[in-house]
Amino acid sequence: MKSNNPEDAETRTECTNVLHGMGISCRSTNLIIDGGNMVPCGPYIVMTDKVFTKNGKEKEDAVFKAELESELGHPVIIIPWEMHDDFNVRDTDKYGHSDGFIKWCGGNRILMGNHVDQYPEEAAAIRHILEEYGFEVTEMRFADKVGSPRTDLNWAYINFLQVGNKIIMPIFNIKEDVIAWQYIHKAFPDCEIYQIEMAGVAEEGGALHCISWNI
């Protein structure tokens, strides 16, 4: 969630300096690529089509997509994204990052957030695209399991952090917490799952994966 506001300059991370300090080689690119909009899924990287508009391109620009794949060194799967409300509204996806939609579970399995609860047509389109690439997609669903689901928070369960066989997932002290744990445990049966209350962060449009560097 990088800000271009000059007032936030002191809180920004100079990623090149950090990578060099960790002994990780890197190179610069002129393309605008948000870290949260890159979800590795086996040989692929999944990104929302926001990457086109961020770079001043028309969606489905084949030449730009080829350039993007050349820069990343991987084939890219593009999924659709649309902001449904004003940027400052709490109950809306304001960043358009793919890590707010999906998580790769290994092999050809993908766990998808509960976008279907609010926008079933968009969720179906995303699922269809992933299935065309051979993935089996499991969607989280809460609307048919709890009364008055917290749509301002429950979208963020998919934005968890995985390091090796350890998973840290957000919780919000709502009914959906247990259901989300069950989805993640089933998708990652060999992982230990820890929980951190994250309501304050999620209300700003992100969660654990957004606020961390996950390689």
pLDDT band at 16 (very low <50, low <70, confident <90, very high): confident
Sequence-separated (6 or more) residues with CB below 8 Å from residue 59: 49, 52, 53
- How does pLDDT run across 141-190, given as a tens digit for each residue? 999 898 888 888 888 899 889 999 999 999 999 999 999 999 999 999 99
What's the average model confidence in pLDDT over 69-83?
Answer: 93
- Most confident stretch, 66-70, 97-101, 115-119: 66-70
What's the average model confidence in pLDDT over 13-39?
Answer: 84
Choose among 117, 115, 149: nearest CA to 130. Answer: 115
Decide: helix, strand or coil at residue 62: helix
What pLDDT score does 17 carry?
Answer: 83
List the Cα angle 93/164/77 in 5-degree steps. 45
User: How far is CA 126 from each of CA 49, 114, 135, 147, rounded to the nearest angstrom?
Assistant: 11, 12, 11, 26
Asked if residues 96 and 37 have their Cβ atoms less than 8 Å apart, the reply is yes
In terms of pLDDT, which residue wins out, 105 or 11? 105
In terms of pLDDT, which residue wins out, 208 or 34? 34
- How does pLDDT run across 96-109, given as a tens digit for each residue? 889 989 999 999 99
Choose the weakest-confidence range: 15-24, 110-119, 165-174, 190-199. 15-24
CATH topology of domain 6-202: L-arginine/glycine Amidinotransferase; Chain A (3.75.10)
d(CA 101, CA 130): 12
In terms of pLDDT, which residue wins out, 16 or 211? 16
What pLDDT score does 1 carry?
Answer: 37
Domain spans of the chain, in order of start = 6-202
What pLDDT score does 151 carry?
Answer: 84
- How does pLDDT run across 179-191, given as a tens digit for each residue? 999 999 999 999 9
